[in-house]
Amino acid sequence: MNRPLLALAISFITGIILNDIWGFVPGVLLLVALACIFVALAGCFWTWWDNRWVFVLLFILLGWYTSGVDGMRHPNGLERFAGHFVTLDGMVAREPDVRKDYTGYVLATDAICIGDKRISARGLALVRVFGSSNGYGYGDYLRIKGFLYQPEEPGNFGAFNYRDYLARRGIYCLMKVDKPDHVQLLGVGGNAVVRLALQGKARLLQVASQTMDERQAAVLSGMLFGNKGGIDQSVNDAFAQTGVAHVLCVSGLHVGYVLAGVLLLAGALGLPRRSVPGLAMVVLLFYAVMTGMGPAVVRASIMAILVLMAVRLGREKDWPSALALAALVILYFEPSALYDIGFQLSFAATWGILYLTPLIGKLLMGRWGWPRWLGLPLGVTIAAQLATLPLLVYYFNLVTPVAPLANLLLMPMVGLVMLLGFLGLIAGIVFLPAAMFINAGTGLLIDLFTGLAHMISLLPGGSSYVATPPWYAVLLWYAGLVGLVQLIEGRLALPLASSSPLLLPLLRMYGRCNRLVPAGIALLLVLAILWPWSGTDGQLQVHFIDVGQGDSILVRFPGGRTMLVDAGGRLGSLDEGRGVGDSVVVPYLHRLGMDKLDVLVVTHAHGDHAGGVPPVAEKLHVGALVLSCAPGYEELLDLMAPLGIPVYRVGAGHILHIDESVEVTILAPARELPAGAEEDLNNASLVLRLDYGQVSFLLTGDIEENAQRALLGSGAVLQADILKVPHHGSRFFVPEFFDAVSPDYAVIQVGKNNRFGHPSRDTLETLTNTGANVLRNDRDGAVLFATNGRDVTVQTGR
């Protein structure tokens, strides 16, 4: 066991995974672990056999046991009161998350009050206080009144599970507080060192807000401390699409700059070398506390201290052992961190840089003769991109071929921004005008950085979205990458038996084509990750996306073209519904590998249908925008005008020629609307009929009784196999309309516990009486129909 720490870390991780697969049996695991300890100690004492595999088994059991114990943390009791207005007493356990419209506090509660009753309840709750920030921080003991609730399970296929994410951090309830004056300060507590670190950070950020504009200060806060709450979404998108989003997440890059600063300061002050590791440990720990003790900064700090200790003791610097020890330390205290995206990306990027860079640098600077000043940084960024590519595709569906160029151009600026920014903030504590002078230059650098990132993100082919690959494709990528490196460096031979005369021709062919083998393996790995795993297989797919109280329907045609009917939102102004488009609809499309839409249909201009349209149109290339001939789209058209998307106004009798095998017919509204239509947008909704072979869909928008009667009298063919129930299943319906459609399936797009009382009991009873199988987004999540024109299959998100 040349690297025992590496073997033990892999064993520990295996145990964590086994606990998730087979569950936790503490008694059996403990007995087996004790037996392993006894055998291992006996083997060490008598040295009568090689007991390395006993230690491997022991750490597998230890990882299994630790993960099982961690998973036994039951909900803290607050969930019993979910769904009620309550008062919580507790201490702010972490740094507040300050956003533009709310401030988030993780509250370690002591008690919960309902009416006159005060009940002891210990646990964590995530409290969101809407309105202006009231300046509370870590250690403040607060009394907060608001609505307590539990996060919902995701309803859409492959969506991020926010409930599990919070549960892994011991948080089982959220609280919504509408007014800042519902928060009362009762006292101050907490760890003095943590409070000091966070107060110092808050003071530094206050200097930033006083000496820079809001946008620049937000970016500097992200670069120095990983705070991304105040950064514009457009900046986040540009950084992600150019592959430089890591500058806003405190990682090895930031720790490296801090460590470099410590070493320079120690050298300038003439400190003895033996004191440098201790000083570095204190500074890095203080910085880790300031940045929230995330996995990336903890990993980088542990490795940095180990390297310093190795230099101090004259020991060999072995990066695999240092990386393994960092993983063991983090996972021992928090086994669930293994499934944290930040943990995975940090360790993958570090492994890639340390394992792949030597080979890539040898190719760039040796075989191809690139100068070191260019080959080395390019090799580092290519190595990091190769190591994180499958994770970025798996979690974010994003591929950024432009990332190496972006990192070469932008990374030299990061150190300068951090140096000037930190000096400016320190100077501002002593003398604010000095900070204004320094930060004027820092602000220009930040503007240049963000401007270049935005320009690079606009390069054709610079980024694209691909379908989510299966988990085994991710494992295949890493296994293949290791095998490829070993093969190129001559440490791995292909398993061809030279002693067999039957294989001699193959050996000779391999000898002539051995240079093509690595290229072939690389091509297969790329195909495994970028393969269109979520294709339609020549079928018609109709996705009823779970957007809460709103409508959004994705149609994927057999020939590969796409149509989105509505994009969700909130009832009200279009601006209020943008969040649904950004956070639900766009990610849903990206998970399917979509970065363009052939047709975007808006049935009518209410916010719960059209609110998500602007972000969808901004983030995906849209070929055509289809609206009804009814009025009410003026605000939407003003928002869409800068995008230059062709607009088509349609009415009853029009046919959309999208796919030659699927007929898309507009059944309503009439091209000449009756008087009063301007005030009745629901009844002016577009109604679409899709026919593919023997299977038909009827998508009805929000039509109510008047429009339903008009359709009954129009002579249009209404019978359909799948009906999108009008107006979220409201009580404004005509029973004869449902009888005429006579669907096999009826889908109601509706949000849970909505204030409108949708769906109506009468509607549900009438649909059931027609023989329809009723599916609902609030209960079933997203609903996916796939058909070959004869048979229909149905999947639901829950």
548: left (phi over 0), alpha (psi -120 to 50) or beta: left
Average pLDDT value for residue range 242-251: 83
Average pLDDT value for residue range 428-438: 89
pTM above 0.75, yes or no: yes
Six-digit token string for 722: 């799948």
**Angle between the N-to-C axes of helices 214-225 and 192-211, in degrees from 0 to 180, rounded to the nearest 10:** 150
The pLDDT assigned to 794 comes to 97
d(CA 172, CA 168): 9
The pLDDT assigned to 728 comes to 94
- pLDDT tens digits for range 677-711: 556 889 999 999 999 999 999 999 999 999 999 99
Q: Report angle CA 300, 305, 308 to the nearest 5 degrees.
A: 125
Quick one: pLDDT band at residue 497, thresholds 50, 70, 90? very low
**Residue 699: burial class (beta carbons within 10 Å; 0-12, 13-18, 19+):** buried
Q: What is the three-class DSSP state of 580?
A: helix
- For the cut 60, the answer to whether the pLDDT of residue 596 exceeds it is yes
Residue 752 near residue 152 (C-beta atoms within 8 A) = yes
| CATH no. for 540-671+680-796 | 3.60.15.10
Quick one: pLDDT band at residue 507, thresholds 50, 70, 90? low
Q: What is the three-class DSSP state of 539?
A: coil
Q: What amino acid is encoded at 265 in this protein?
A: L
d(CA 550, CA 756): 12
Peptide bond into 735 cis (omega under 30): no
d(CA 142, CA 90): 6
Average pLDDT value for residue range 641-648: 94
**Helix, strand, coil share of the chain (percent; to 5):** 55, 20, 30
**Angle between the N-to-C axes of helices 233-241 and 432-457, in degrees from 0 to 180, rounded to the nearest 10:** 60
Q: What is the three-class DSSP state of 499?
A: coil
Q: What amino acid is encoded at 78 in this protein?
A: L
For the chain, what is the total number of helices (H) and then of strands (E)? 27, 26
Six-digit token string for 685: 């909704």
Residue 411 near residue 377 (C-beta atoms within 8 A) = yes
- pLDDT tens digits for range 327-366: 999 998 888 889 888 889 989 999 999 999 888 888 888 7
Taking all residues of the chain, what is their mean pLDDT, rounded to a whole number?
Answer: 86
CATH number of this structure's domain 78-190, picked from the four choices 3.30.70.2190, 3.40.190.10, 3.90.25.10, 2.40.50.140 = 2.40.50.140
Q: Tell me the domain boundaries of the chain.
A: 4-71, 78-190, 198-342+410-461, 343-399, 471-530, 540-671+680-796
